[in-house]
Chains A and B, each alone.
Chain A
Amino acid sequence: MLSVVLVFLFSFLPSVHAESLLVTVVLSEDGGAYQAFSDSLRNKLQNSRVILSSQSIDDKPGGSGLYIAVGMKAATELAARDVPTLNVLVPKAGYDKLLRASAQHAKPRSAIYLDQPMERQVALLLAALPGTRNVGVLYSSPPPELQAAHRLFADRNVNLHDRAIDASQSLNDALEIILKESEVLFVLADAEVYNAGTIRNILLTSYRKQVPLIGISQAYVKAGALCAIYSTPEQIAAQTIEAVRQFSETGKLPPSLYPKEFEVSVNTQVARSLDIPIKGAASLREEIRGKP
């Protein structure tokens, strides 16, 4: 496992008297979003006294007050140790699974999830496609948030059609069926269904049926999803700094949370191709933000 350990010394001004906190950032791997997060974190801490060092994840930096695990790999690794850990860029389902699997910890542990709360996602869908009555969901095994989704859509008078892919039903067959019933395909994170190899064909199939797809990250939008709601590494870094500050002041971490800030991304080309009138990304974001 490639891990990069960044050690930060946090010293928040102006509390001069306050003791400096040694923070170790453990990346699941170099590059990509993890690196972006780490860079952003460092940028935001420019005015603080930062002690930065690279070290192996297996080393035990003495005196480190807080570990920040970036990504599932780092989180899994650190979960085995009884150290104060803040997990970031981890999906809620994965983190919950990790918590259930590992033993109770004496040291504080918390997380800032990668994914958006279901409410926010539903809000985006409705904001982008206000008149939607039928929404399709595909999965390999029922995801934890499915219940919440059902409830939320039901509250808003929207039918949620869900369908599982199994041995008897291929992805395409399931897709064909779900696309017949739905006006929009709503993505719930499921690597079995949505992955690099399948996404193109899923998109192609859905658009042939004039069914737009709502994604869960900017990559989806780039691949051809109509729109997506997500948090950037910078936004999460900012929230991380808040959590670290709180930890340094109180010695406690905030509870595990979804990201506070988010971004909306719209693929106007897709919208135009499918002849869908859609609002701008900014206005959608504002609209969602306005709703609690």
Chain B
Amino acid sequence: MKRHGIERQTLAVAVIPILILALLLESYFTYTRFADLDRALFERAKLIVRQLASSSEYPVFSGNQVLLQQQIDTAFSQQDVNSIIVLDADSKLIAGAGGMRNSGERERLENLASKAKDFSAFQEDRNVLRLYQSIVATQIKLDELGNSSAENAPNKALGSVIVEIGKGRLNREKIEMLGLNLFLLLLVLMTTMLIAMRVSRRITRPVLQMNNAIRRIGEGHLDTYIAGNRVLELDELASGINDMVRLLRQDRNTLQQRIDDATQELRKKKEEAEKANSDKSRFLAAASHDLRQPMHALGLFVGELHNRLETPEQRKIAGKVEESVEALSSLLDSLLDISKLDAGIVIPQIQGVDVEIMIQRLVQDFNPVALRKNITLRVRSLNEMVLSDPVLLERILLNLLSNAIRYTPPNGTVLLACRRWGDNLRIEVRDNGIGIPPDEQQNVFREFVQLANSARDRSKGLGLGLAIVDRLARLLHHTLDLHSVPNRGSTFAVTVPRVFGVEDLLAEPGNVPVAVMPKSDRLENLRVLVVDDDMLVRTSTAGILESWGCQVSVGESLEAVWNEYAESHFDLVICDYRLPDGNGLQLADRIKEHCEVPPAFILISGDTSPEILQAVNERDHHLLHKPVRPAKLRSLMLFMLKRRDGTLP
């Protein structure tokens, strides 16, 4: 349906009836007026021709040309008379005026007239009107007494008059009248249109204003106000809209207030959550540190104890204790790792990594475990270099392997396989264990989630392994895939970018602590200074070192060390980072200043803050995190000695 505006509709309503009425009236009046004009002209023409016929009766009878011409001229001088001719009884031209010569028309008129009662006829076209009138002698009755022969005398026509009347003036008048009428019609229409438009504007303008206002309101300008209107309904509409806007404004203010309140609330909640999270991290860090101290000491004590026990029975018990300490220590390690990763202080050292070597090592480590569980550990390795952090990548694979072996039943198979995947290397750890249901596949990466371990058997791990894997993979930007079917097994895959050509040569495997620990014991007579404010740690460390044959000195603070060992020489300083009157780095700096050959320096810290790590790295010291396992300490010490002796670069 075509749509029209109010203006056009009002215009139509106003103009159409007026137009119809005006047209009807105009055509009626024009028609009647034209008919009047035609009739008037016809009557006048008839009068002229009759008059002429009458007045020319005698001249025609008497053949008086002069008189006849006079009569004709008199008639001819009248308005609109184009031409006149007078014919005698034999239709012969006697006299005339104007230029009518159309004999055909004349004959037709004569024929017509001969049939007419009053011996007259007319014929007309658009431009002329021709009238024919017989000249008949005036009848005067002579014989009242019945002279019958007189009555028989034929009423013979003396002749005829034909007058041609021009319609030029009439037509002009008609055209003028028509023009005037049309002008008036136009005037009426224009006036009507003007009035209709004015009236409709009075409606449409406020409607448009309201429309604009509503659009503005729609755009959110709720301060919009619509002025009142002279048209009652529009005024009501305007005030209605104004009321609506006011209500909307109120509602919006209320809503805004609520949103603000809710936002405030949310912000508070968020802050609380953030605070809780950081509290958690701090707690973890602190707890790790505080747990590490005794753990550290315990490990060292147990190590020493193991060395000193003599009976196999005692050694067996000590072995169990060692295992428990080991488990406790690895739990702490995991917790510490998680907290470090969450705290964002682990900065990956990306470099070229020889996958084959790494895998060999892992297999070497896991083979005994697999053997114990009667699990076949199969390897498909590739001689490839990848771009990754060697420690963190190894940690990922280690966790995945340990996880796979843990959840694979005896007689199962665990496959560690590499395959090229475009520019990447995909390292898969596949088992045919219990598998993971699809709805649990995301959960396994969360902390402390262990499927099929509702009893939380500690021998099955802590449930932190996959959480660490997930965090590490994200940190290294390695894609981690999990594909698993319950009771059929799981496949964990990590995709690592490969290194090609030149990068192989540039790769620096230098920092990787890959040195195989030599079996020869070279720690004897090594002069070691142990600095720790914690007496337990101090004594345990000293104990284990002594059991390895080292000459151990101890100190509890910077000042104490300074006072006691200012003049002493040490091969190695093992120092707690946090000391009562400073930190391990300050001690290292001072020793370095005073000694010609500065000792090797191992810092031991419970803190995981990156500042410490950075500072230690800058000075080329070694940092160990508590709790330090005796084996680890020992291998580090051996490594450092080798380097110092020049057996390592």
14 A–B contacts from the bound complex (CB under 8 Å): A33-B145, A71-B145, A72-B146, A191-B147, A191-B149, A196-B139, A196-B140, A196-B153, A198-B137, A199-B142, A200-B138, A217-B143, A217-B145, A219-B143
Interface of A is mostly: helix
Q: Is A64 an interface residue (CB 8 A)?
A: no
Partner of B146, one of A28, A172, A199, A201: A28
Report the minimum CB–CB distance from A17 to chain B (whole Å): 38
Q: Which residues of B contact A91 (CB under 8 A)?
A: 147
A window 167-223: CB within 8 A of B: 172, 176, 189, 191-192, 194-201, 204-205, 208, 217-220, 223
Tell whether, in the assembled complex, residue B145 and residue A195 are in contact, meaning their CB atoms are under 8 Å apart.
Answer: no
Q: Is A77 an interface residue (CB 8 A)?
A: no
Interface of B is mostly: loop
CB nearest to A176 among chain B residues? B62
Among A73, A194, A198, the one with the most B-chain Cβ atoms within 10 Å of its Cβ is A198
**Cα A34 to Cα B136 with chains together (Å):** 29
Kindly supply a per-residue 1/0 record for chain B positions 113-155, scoring 1 wherever the CB is within 8 Å of any chain A CB and 0 otherwise: 0000000000000000000000011111111111111111111
**Cα A205 to Cα B158 with chains together (Å):** 15
Contacts A73-B148, A198-B137 known; A204 to B58 CB distance under 8 Å?
yes
Report the minimum CB–CB distance from B144 to chain A (whole Å): 5
**Cα A205 to Cα B59 with chains together (Å):** 10
B window 142-188: CB within 8 A of A: 142-156
Q: Is A123 an interface residue (CB 8 A)?
A: no
Q: Which residues of B contact A172 (CB under 8 A)?
A: 61-63
Q: Which residues of A contact B152 (CB under 8 A)?
A: 191
Q: Is A114 an interface residue (CB 8 A)?
A: yes
Interface size class of B (residues with CB under 8 A): 20 to 34
Tell whether, in the assembled complex, residue A223 and residue B142 are in contact, meaning their CB atoms are under 8 Å apart.
Answer: yes
Q: Is A144 an interface residue (CB 8 A)?
A: no
Q: Which residues of B contact A28 (CB under 8 A)?
A: 146, 148
Report the minimum CB–CB distance from B149 to chain A (whole Å): 4
Kindly supply a per-residue 1/0 record for chain B positions 538-555, scoring 1 wherever the CB is within 8 Å of any chain A CB and 0 otherwise: 000000000000000000
Report the minimum CB–CB distance from B603 to chain A (whole Å): 166
Kindly supply a per-residue 1/0 record for chain A positions 216-237, scoring 1 wherever the CB is within 8 Å of any chain B CB and 0 otherwise: 0111100100000000010000
Q: Is A263 an interface residue (CB 8 A)?
A: no
Q: Is A292 an interface residue (CB 8 A)?
A: no
Tell whether, in the assembled complex, residue A201 and residue B145 are in contact, meaning their CB atoms are under 8 Å apart.
Answer: no
Report the minimum CB–CB distance from A97 to chain B (whole Å): 11
Q: Which residues of B contact A192 (CB under 8 A)?
A: 153
CB nearest to B64 among chain A residues? A208
Q: Which residues of A contact B137 (CB under 8 A)?
A: 197-198, 200-201
Nearest first, the 7 A-B pairs at minimum CB distance are A191-B149, A195-B153, A197-B137, A201-B61, A71-B146, A191-B150, A33-B145
**Cα A230 to Cα B140 with chains together (Å):** 18
**Cα A172 to Cα B139 with chains together (Å):** 17
Q: Is A4 an interface residue (CB 8 A)?
A: no
Q: Which residues of B contact A23 (CB under 8 A)?
A: none
B window 557-608: CB within 8 A of A: none
Contacts A197-B155, A201-B62 known; A73 to B146 CB distance under 8 Å?
yes
Among B58, B61, B145, B155, the one with the most A-chain Cβ atoms within 10 Å of its Cβ is B145
